[in-house]
């Protein structure tokens, strides 16, 4: 039943990809069978994350440009955690990439996700796996490092690029622990700004002791993405790491992480939060509410 759609994916048919993604988004009947019928794939997934305004989309744009020049096919998944505080910044960022929307070798899809209960959104896992079934050479997943999304992306990507700007110096000491820990490569973008060299120096110093359990140093690459400076080095470094890394342990961990979230989604599917609120409201009105007695009834 799903063979035709799978074949469409394998042929890189855009309408087939769109239809498959809709299937997953709507959890249409039988979509789980469809996912089970997808062939295995080794397409690398590259995560690009970092705070809003760091230039992630410009970096992704440069990535696409280089890959297309090399006659490669690339899919980009843009994940927008909905937040009233940075909606503007994200939208502004995305405009740059739109130049690629109609290019035959590029597939771009934006997903708005409310920071879902329970972490890594299972839909993102599933859509990434659909893209992996297509003849793309590279899949880029771009997400803003707000709240928990930086940890989410690390559970999804074979290699995570964290994009920072020189001004981020202070933040690194404080807020970005999550962001720092997921990086396989650091990019210091807008490297023509004052303090860039000092920032790179501090970053390298900081990565020393805390990362001593890692096998190799984490590359720090300076870019001025708006001028295409440094992008080639970045793409080469990514390719190099992907080629040399034979990190089966990490691959297994990623799969286990994905499995955990998919199982959770399946098992919690019948628990609707709005229904919980209503049920609790009724119980409270009846008096003598105990949360642990309540959950035992579900």
Residues that bind a second copy (CB under 8 A): 32, 35-36, 38, 40, 51-53, 83-86, 115, 117-119, 129, 145-148, 150-151, 167, 170-171, 173-178, 180-181, 210, 248, 252-253, 255-264, 266-268, 271, 273, 276-277, 280-281, 284, 288-296, 298
Task: List the one residue out of 122, 133, 108, 137 whose CA is nearest residue 34.
Answer: 133
Contact 74/64 with Cβ under 8 angstroms?
Answer: yes
Length of the chain: 298
Smallest distance, a second copy to C-beta of residue 154, A: 11
Residue nearer to a second copy on the CB measure, 243 or 296: 296
Residue nearer to a second copy on the CB measure, 34 or 63: 34
Q: 172-177 long-range contacts, Cβ below 8 Å, gap at least 24?
A: 172/202, 172/203, 172/206, 176/51, 176/145
Residue nearer to a second copy on the CB measure, 86 or 202: 86
Distance (Å, rounded) from C-alpha 4 to C-alpha 71? Answer: 27
Q: Bridge-partner residues for 185, per DSSP?
A: 161
Residue nearer to a second copy on the CB measure, 28 or 256: 256
Distance (Å, rounded) from C-alpha 166 to C-alpha 254? Answer: 31
Smallest distance, a second copy to C-beta of residue 242, A: 18
Of the CA atoms within 13 Å of residue 13, those in its CB half-sphere come to: 12
Residue nearer to a second copy on the CB measure, 202 or 239: 202
Smallest distance, a second copy to C-beta of residue 68, A: 29
Smallest distance, a second copy to C-beta of residue 225, A: 17
Contact 181/205 with Cβ under 8 angstroms?
Answer: no
Residue nearer to a second copy on the CB measure, 24 or 60: 24
Smallest distance, a second copy to C-beta of residue 167, A: 7
Tokens of 123: 């839909």
């Amino acid at each position: 039943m799903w063979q035709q759609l799978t074949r469409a994916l394998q042929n890189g048919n855009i309408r087939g990809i769109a239809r498959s993604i809709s299937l997953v988004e709507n959890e249409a009947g039988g979509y789980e069978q469809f996912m089970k019928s997808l062939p295995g794939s080794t397409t690398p997934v590259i995560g690009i994350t970092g705070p809003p305004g760091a230039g992630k989309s410009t970096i992704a744009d440069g990535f696409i440009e280089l890959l297309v020049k090399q006659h490669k096919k690339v899919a980009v998944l843009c994940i927008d955690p909905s937040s009233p505080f940075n909606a503007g910044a994200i939208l502004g960022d995305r405009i740059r990439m739109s130049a690629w929307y109609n290019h035959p070798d590029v597939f771009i899809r934006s997903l708005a996700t409310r920071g879902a209960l329970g972490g890594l959104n299972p839909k993102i896992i599933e859509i990434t796996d659909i893209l992996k079934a297509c003849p793309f050479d590279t899949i880029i997943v771009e997400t803003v490092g707000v709240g928990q999304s930086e940890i989410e992306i690390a559970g999804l990507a074979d290699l995570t690029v964290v994009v920072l700007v020189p001004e981020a110096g202070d933040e690194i000491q404080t807020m970005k622990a999550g962001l720092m820990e997921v990086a396989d490569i650091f990019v210091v973008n807008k490297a023509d700004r004052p303090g860039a060299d000092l920032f790179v120096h501090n970053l390298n110093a900081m990565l020393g002791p805390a990362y001593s359990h890692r096998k190799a140093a984490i590359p720090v690459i300076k870019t001025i993405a708006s001028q295409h400076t440094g992008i080639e080095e970045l793409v080469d470094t990514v390719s190099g790491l992907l080629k040399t890394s034979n990190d089966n342990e990490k691959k297994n961990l990623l799969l286990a992480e994905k499995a955990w979230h998919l199982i959770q989604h399946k098992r919690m599917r019948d628990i609707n939060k709005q229904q919980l609120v209503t049920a609790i409201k009724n119980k409270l009105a009846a008096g003598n509410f105990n949360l642990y007695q309540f959950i035992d009834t579900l």
